Structure 1
Amino acid sequence: MRGRDIKRYSYEWANLWLIYIPWHFPYQFDESIQGASTKAEEAFKLQYPAVYSHLLQYKESLLKRNKAETGIRYEWYAMQRWGAKYWEDFSKPKIMYPNMTKYIPFYYDEKGFYQNDKSFMITGNFVAYLTAFLNSSLFKFCFLNNFPELQGGTRELRKIFFDKIPVLQVTKEINDSFISKINDIQEKYTTQKAMEIDAMLFELYRLTEEERKTIGFVEIT
């Protein structure tokens, strides 16, 4: 998923795929393996023949990446920097968003999408509720200016700017109540559904009718 593919409560996947191969794959969890493993390569070749054959065309180039380590500490086909253990986070429920955007969109992902370097993700507790908060009119009204405006009206959504934003702490039960709403709106987006989620947040934050009007919210009838 590229940053440009992420929309508010949705995405437009461009049918792009990423080949990710950790050290010693497919025995990446075998801590007894030290250095480039012939055993791992043979298993990779047997289990994923098409991918192995594809990479074999580029073996010479891949071996030149880091001559002190490639083919020595790890196999020539491995495509991972050591220390990048956060790869498991991609399979967790997470919030995805572009690094620069005009529209400040956030998508709640349970499908295990990977991302390019033009987008970020947030993992942790209560991310369904947090997705609703970040997509809300309340968030944009109060915190849009926390993010610097760049040329063309885009905003830079970097972690250092999110760190300064206070977020109401909620319980698991409250987060669960947002999960069904998020799944529903991401199945088919409507303005009505977005307003219903906004209304739930306003109740949590105990906004008065006057404060809701200031934000520009009109009560659903």
Structure 2
Amino acid sequence: MSDYFRQNGVNTTFLSTESWVILCDIEQAIKTKIEAIGTPLKDWNISINYGVKTGYNEAYIIDGKKKEELIVEDPKSAEIIRPLLRGRDIKRYSYEFADLYIITTFPSLKINIDDYPAVKQHLMSFGYDRLKQTGDRGARKKTNNQWFETQDSINYWEDFYKQKIIYPGIMRIAKSNSLNFPRFTYDESENFFFGNDCYFIIGEHIEYIWLILNSTLLGYLFRYYIYSFDETGFKMFTDYFKNIPIPKPNHTTLNQANDLLHEINMEKIDKWVYSFYNFSEEEVYEIENFVQKLIYEEES
């Protein structure tokens, strides 16, 4: 036993009261380089928020057919119906729109539902007792909102109309596509809304951040910063996610990012990200092998 410990022991330094992890030499070297060069997302000029909590998705999320019916009945309905992405619709560098929409009767908008008779009738078809926000049995949780409004106020509703990165709150490794991890999509102009199964980022250098978040290196970093559960995926809690360190850009790296955006090539993007850290071939192999092993185990 003593021989085993001498051969496999790892030196670890405890410099603070923060959480720690025992790593082998190459893992420690990778983590040290990443943290020396990267800046935690919480220190960037960005904001992270979650999607819309309706309290009753069956009433507020509709398909394209119902959307058209409501607009034909009353053209003003289009003012409060927006395209919706779900967590499952988000892919690596892309998305698949499922022709779903959300009725955006946010309390912060102070909507008069009588101005939208078709939408009002649609919501009423689910029953006042089910939509009221009193906390009664069978109703939505108790709030000060009116019966037709969503559960959350969504005071940041204007942020949905900004360029943004969208990602699922639970990021499972797709068994049907091993290249689909990690996955963050970029909404430049579609103005997508989404439910509370997603989060989104707005702010400075969004496209640059988006490229890095989809890199293989970020899949590797999940082991240190993101909460893993039941061996099937990761819970993207903001308290953890905001600690992921990413290198701040300069004029050169922003120009490089702009070039990479013209044609998404995952291999080129990975090499670009690795170049920030001056990783050795052995370290790159360790990163890619870990992510491939993670995917393989999830698919098994």
Per the normalisation by structure 2, the TM-score is: 0.52
Q: 1:206 offset after TM fit, Å? A: 3.2
CA distance in 2, matches of 1:105, 1:62: 35
1:99 to 141, 156, 169: 169
Q: Deviations over 1:8-57 (max 9, x none)?
A: 112222221100023485xx5xxxxxxxx8xx556x34xxx543443455
CA distance in 2, matches of 1:116, 1:96: 11
Q: 1:131 offset after TM fit, Å? A: 1.5
1:212 to 284, 289, 293: 284
CA RMSD of aligned residues (A): 3.2
Give the match for residue 50 of structure 2: none
CA distance in 1, matches of 2:234, 2:146: 41
Q: Is the alpha carbon distance of 1:183 and 1:57 closer, same or farther for their aligned partners in structure 2, counting shifts above 3 Å?
A: farther
Give the match for residue 17 of structure 1: 101
Dislocated runs of 4+, deviation >6 Å: none
Give the match for residue 88 of structure 2: 4
Give the match for residue 120 of structure 1: 199
Counting only pairs closer than 5 Å after superposition, residues 155-174 of structure 1 correspond to structure 2 as 155-171=234-250, 174=253
Q: Is the alpha carbon distance of 1:175 and 1:13 closer, same or farther for their aligned partners in structure 2, counting shifts above 3 Å?
A: same
Give the match for residue 186 of structure 2: 108
3-state secondary structure, aligned to 1:120? strand
1:136 to 202, 215, 227: 215
Q: Is the alpha carbon distance of 1:180 and 1:55 closer, same or farther for their aligned partners in structure 2, counting shifts above 3 Å?
A: farther
CA distance in 2, matches of 1:53, 1:176: 51
Asked if 1 retains the 8 angstrom alpha-carbon contact of 2:182 and 2:216, the reply is: no
Amino acid across the alignment from 1:203: S
Asked if 1 retains the 8 angstrom alpha-carbon contact of 2:227 and 2:237, the reply is: no
Q: 1:58 offset after TM fit, Å? A: 5.7
CA distance in 2, matches of 1:173, 1:18: 40
Q: Does 1:54 align with 2:122?
A: yes
Asked if 1 retains the 8 angstrom alpha-carbon contact of 2:162 and 2:191, the reply is: yes
Amino acid across the alignment from 1:163: K
Amino acid across the alignment from 2:278: R
CA distance in 2, matches of 1:211, 1:63: 55
Q: 1:169 offset after TM fit, Å? A: 0.9
CA distance in 2, matches of 1:149, 1:171: 33
Q: Is the alpha carbon distance of 1:155 and 1:79 closer, same or farther for their aligned partners in structure 2, counting shifts above 3 Å?
A: closer
3-state secondary structure, aligned to 2:133? coil
Amino acid across the alignment from 2:97: W
CA distance in 2, matches of 1:94, 1:4: 17
3-state secondary structure, aligned to 1:160? helix
Asked if 2 retains the 8 angstrom alpha-carbon contact of 1:24 and 1:75, the reply is: no
CA distance in 2, matches of 1:23, 1:201: 42
Give the match for residue 86 of structure 1: 156
Amino acid across the alignment from 1:87: W
3-state secondary structure, aligned to 2:263? helix
Q: Is the alpha carbon distance of 1:50 and 1:184 closer, same or farther for their aligned partners in structure 2, counting shifts above 3 Å?
A: farther
Per the normalisation by structure 1, the TM-score is: 0.68
Q: Deviations over 1:180-200 (max 9, x none)?
A: 534633xxxxxxx10111122
Query: Mean alpha-carbon deviation: is it higher for 49-58 or for 108-117?
Result: 49-58
Asked if 1 retains the 8 angstrom alpha-carbon contact of 2:221 and 2:244, the reply is: no
The number of residue pairs the alignment matches comes to: 188
Q: Deviations over 1:152-173 (max 9, x none)?
A: 4212221121232222111366
3-state secondary structure, aligned to 1:141? helix
Q: Is the alpha carbon distance of 1:158 and 1:41 closer, same or farther for their aligned partners in structure 2, counting shifts above 3 Å?
A: closer
